[in-house]
Chains A and B, each alone.
Chain A
């Protein structure tokens, strides 16, 4: 413990050196920008900056790239709240309540609470990273394919709660998500599914373009339909949170930190998954679950806290084993490799100064991001006053840019357009979009881990029940789903209130 502290202090000394501080700041700033721009996520952001590693010295470069990664998590909420376009997958749940708050004139409150929650969760989970990294990494190894499958089942139980008015429609939406995910190569056999010999379809549908379509394009289509030019009729009120707001949301911040950090330890659990789970948890334990989806501040705080905690959690398996828990960290791993910094237990021994400098820089970075984001709140909130005819085309341009930037394919822009139309039809016919997105995100790991597990057990499905961790996770999933269905049908009054939720 004491040794860790002194190493951390050493790290601070390096991280606070002017050059490293400057690159940390640049990383945070770029991360915020990348987070704000829809579609351009941390993965493409880090990839774009990767060539710089040939010029910079390792500590400064990795500090910058890491800053970009967690900085994007701060920025992602901005467009989700203001214009209903999640800048990152992990901000999809944020949009559900954040956008409603913005339309009620409370954009400032939502934005500042998102930043504060990100800061609290980011910093707390860094403490976890600092003091328990090696032990926690061992825990993550306990998760084999059957455990991942059980975890995916647990995450899927969220669908029931995201379904809004009709459970059936929610489930249909989820199934469509699975179907879309099945386009492309079968991960286990290499057989092409629904590709019709088209090379673009063979590489699958990228979920970023689907999200951009379902949120951004749909939103614009349905706003254009209405005559009203002013989407935000209400005046801006309450730019800053009151103390009572902080006290009200603090428990949710702590809970989502725990959820985000521990799930983040598992390779494959991206911030996109954990923010959904955190949102769902808050909705479940809330005394007024019907308020979620109508502008509940907890619905903003929970996913934003969770996705920041997940980013810190993800550094544990990365540094301890060289295992990236998501595409963005995989690119960062590439950056480490380019410097010949082989992650693994030896990284702490051989390059201790470097590791601790990066960890220390993350504490610093979180402060930088808070200071950077809070003053911007007022500026961003004013964006609501921009007349819609001017705002909408700009949003569209950035959305398509984002869809294109993931794989540099015009095909993905087409996908975003098509899903814009699909989303518009879904809105008209009252199908919720969130189950589709969640299933689309989960499908890949769901399928892979299911097939791997069955292959491990020679086709015997009992493998999921014979391993303690997976058994417990599956039982929790069943209980949660059962409970949601029970309240849905046993309490028609509450069910009626749920109707409000999907507008």
Chain B
């Protein structure tokens, strides 16, 4: 009798459980996206610039996305390639998105060891445009771009310019810049902005092609010769652009967010709208200035178009300088 009773209870419980489960499932599909936490893949180390920026987004995320949290997932390695690949291979249900960097994804997609294509991403938004700049140490005898050119000619190809590389905006940029200025320089590759900056401050390289974000940490120790953007930047108003000095050189690093390409259009739409609201929030912009990253919003469509254009451009540059 007791056994039968137990069996009965068991059956009742299991049925109840099944009902609950199916109930959950049907509720899930009807519910607005997102109905559970969203995974955020970061392709660089925790505490790095990409992570710090995404953490700022996180502060405003819940408000736009149904009060669901972001869960950070660091997939680090191979200059970001590991994490970027993870994004393209993730389940396209909208519950995995990730941070992407341009031109990193472009060069990696063009490399002979590519593990993804730029078309494998569904672009959500661009959030940062960090322009490149040419800088020397504070007490360097070089005071402007002309001094730099003169010094480079004097050293006859032996002038050391620190860059972050390989296959980066800096790496390609230094070749383009040298061509534009009709000089020869010797690029010295560093693994990250930190060791690049310290080598310049220690006088171990003559100049560097760096980023606005990195020199903002320690403006007093640098002399910035020119900014590789269309207009002057409000944070360093005194620094002229290359364009002002009749040099056609524009380069930057961009950060944005993407999902795997087969994501449902309505979910992608929701993500794009949410990011648009976050990126135009004055509080968000204040936070971005605090972390020293130049905020520059582009919609998913615009960002995608930029990546396509950059890819065409990059192909010819890679061939021209034999970077492969």
Binding site for B on A (CB under 8 A): 46-47, 50-51, 54, 141-145, 184-185, 187-190, 192, 195, 197, 199-200, 202-204, 267-268, 317, 321-324, 327, 330-335, 337-340, 342-346, 407-409, 448, 451-452, 455-456, 458
Question: Is residue B232 within 8 Å, beta carbon to beta carbon, of the partner chain?
Answer: no
Q: Are B220 and A333 in contact (CB under 8 A)?
A: no
Binds A, one of B95-103, B117-125, B201-209, B263-271: B201-209
Question: Is residue B238 within 8 Å, beta carbon to beta carbon, of the partner chain?
Answer: no
- Beyond A54-B55, A346-B220, whether A190 also contacts B48 by CB under 8 A is no
Q: Is the interface of B mostly helix, strand, loop or mixed?
A: mixed
Q: Are A408 and B75 in contact (CB under 8 A)?
A: yes
Residues of A within 8 A of B199 (CB): 144-145
| Docked pose: A337 CA to B233 CA in angstroms | 21
| Docked pose: A488 CA to B280 CA in angstroms | 70
- Minimum Cβ distance to chain B for residue A463 (Å): 11
The residue that A458 contacts in the complex, of B167, B186, B287, B291, with Cβ under 8 A, is: B186
Q: Are A321 and B85 in contact (CB under 8 A)?
A: no
Binds A, one of B128-136, B174-182, B189-197, B240-248: B189-197
- Beyond A144-B199, A330-B45, whether A338 also contacts B188 by CB under 8 A is no
Number of A-B contacts (CB under 8 A): 150
Number of interface residues of B (CB under 8 A): 54
The residue that B82 contacts in the complex, of A192, A202, A343, with Cβ under 8 A, is: A202
Question: Is residue B10 within 8 Å, beta carbon to beta carbon, of the partner chain?
Answer: no
Question: Is residue B292 within 8 Å, beta carbon to beta carbon, of the partner chain?
Answer: yes
Residues of A within 8 A of B78 (CB): 184-185, 199, 202-204
Q: Are B45 and A327 in contact (CB under 8 A)?
A: yes
Question: Is residue B2 within 8 Å, beta carbon to beta carbon, of the partner chain?
Answer: no
The residue that B204 contacts in the complex, of A46, A327, A456, with Cβ under 8 A, is: A456
The residue that A323 contacts in the complex, of B166, B198, B291, with Cβ under 8 A, is: B198
Q: Are B73 and A323 in contact (CB under 8 A)?
A: no
Q: Are A202 and B47 in contact (CB under 8 A)?
A: no
Residues of A within 8 A of B158 (CB): 458
| Docked pose: A267 CA to B46 CA in angstroms | 18
| Docked pose: A333 CA to B48 CA in angstroms | 8
A-B contact pairs, 8 of them (CB 8 A): A51-B58, A188-B165, A199-B82, A203-B82, A334-B46, A342-B292, A407-B76, A455-B189
- Minimum Cβ distance to chain B for residue A144 (Å): 3
Residues of B within 8 A of A339 (CB): 290
Q: Are A345 and B77 in contact (CB under 8 A)?
A: no
Q: Are B189 and A334 in contact (CB under 8 A)?
A: no
The residue that A199 contacts in the complex, of B52, B111, B115, B203, with Cβ under 8 A, is: B115
- Minimum Cβ distance to chain B for residue A219 (Å): 28
| Docked pose: A189 CA to B290 CA in angstroms | 34
Q: Are B204 and A345 in contact (CB under 8 A)?
A: no
CB contact list, B69-90 vs A, under 8 A: 72-79, 81-82, 85
The residue that B202 contacts in the complex, of A144, A331, A451, with Cβ under 8 A, is: A144
- Beyond A458-B158, A458-B186, whether A331 also contacts B46 by CB under 8 A is yes
Q: Are B191 and A448 in contact (CB under 8 A)?
A: yes
Question: Is residue B113 within 8 Å, beta carbon to beta carbon, of the partner chain?
Answer: yes
- Beyond A192-B113, A268-B195, whether A342 also contacts B217 by CB under 8 A is yes
| Docked pose: A203 CA to B158 CA in angstroms | 33
- Beyond A188-B189, A346-B220, whether A267 also contacts B194 by CB under 8 A is yes
